[in-house]
Amino acid sequence: MVFHFSKTIVLFSKSDSVPILGPSVRQSRFLLNSVLTNCFQLAISMVLAGPTDALAFIAGFSWLELHLLTFEIKNQIIGLEEDRLSKPSRPIVAGRLSVTAAQKLYLFVGALSLIWSMYHGVLLCSAVYMVAIYCYNEGKMSRNWCLKSFLGAIGYVCYCWGTTIIFDHGNPLSNISTAAIVMSGLIHTTTGHAQDFRDRFGDAAIGRKTLPLLLPPRIARWSLALLLTIWTALLIGLWTPPHAVSVLLCLLCLTSGAKFIRNHSVEADRDSYWYYNMWLIMAHLLPAFARIAASEGRQASDFLVMN
C-alpha cells in the first residue's frame, strides 16, 4: 500500500514524462526533460538566493514540491476528459485512486502547503498561489488563452518567490532577484503557450481556447519563434552573460523556433517543447552573472575602503 500510494503521488507530476510508445532514445530525452523541468525552479532559486545550507535546501525543496503537487492534483481532477485522451497514465484516469480520494488528498496537501508557508514566513506567496490555482481550475480561466498564460506565469513567479526566500533563510528578495522573477513572469506570459502545441487535441476536446487553436498554424508558430528571438536579445542585453553563454542561448532559441515551424505533428511538438525548455532553463540562469558581477563590485569597493 505504501509503494502504491508513493507511486501514485509521483505519477501526479511525472505521468507525462515518458510517452507510452517510442524508441528508447526518445524516451530518454523526455525523461531528461521531466527531470530538468522538475529541477527548474530549484535551479532558479539557487541562482537568485546564492549558496545555501542543506536544511534550507530541504525546506525549500519540500515547499516547492507541496505546492507543485497541490496544483497537479486539482488540475487532474478538473481535466479528466483531457487526460483520458492525451495522458491516460495519470493516476485518476488510470484508476489508481478515485476523484473523491483525490479531492481529499488535494485539501490535505493544500493545507500542509499553507502551514509550511506560515512557518517559513512566505504565507502571502502561498495565498497568491492558491488563489491562482482556484482561478485556473475551478474558475475555468485556463480555458481562455490569455488568462491561462497569465495564471501560469503567476504560478512560476510564486515558485521562484517562495523557494528563493526559504533558500536565503527568510531574507527579503534582492533587487536582482525581484527583477529576475518579474522577467520570469513576463517570459511565461508571452511564451508559455509553447506547451499548448503538443496538447492541442486534448484542449480542443474540452473546449479550451489556446493560441495554437485560435491562430492559423503558421502565424501561431512563427509568432512564437519571433517572441523567443526578441526575449533572447533582451535577456542578453539585460544580464550581459559571457559570449559562450550568449551563443548557446541563441542556438537553443533558433533550434526551438525552427523545429516548431518545420514540423506540426504532436510528436514533433513534444520534441520542440524539449528544446524550448532547455532555452527557458538557460534564460533563467542568466541572472547568476549579474549576481557575480554585483558581488565582485562589492568586494572591490570594500577593498578600496580598507586601503
Global pTM reads 0.77
* CATH 1.10.600 assigned to 2-13+26-297: yes
Burial 17-42 (b: 16+ CB within 10 A, else e): bbeeeeeeebeebbeebbeebeebbb
Count of CA atoms in the C-beta half-sphere (13 A) of 115: 6
The pLDDT value recorded for residue 13 is 58
The pLDDT value recorded for residue 207 is 75
- How many C-beta atoms lie closer than 10 Å to residue 213's C-beta? 18
pLDDT band at 23 (very low <50, low <70, confident <90, very high): very low
Indicate the domain borders of the chain. 2-13+26-297
- How many C-beta atoms lie closer than 10 Å to residue 100's C-beta? 9
pLDDT band at 75 (very low <50, low <70, confident <90, very high): confident
31-61: per-residue pLDDT in tens? 444 445 556 677 788 888 877 899 999 999 9
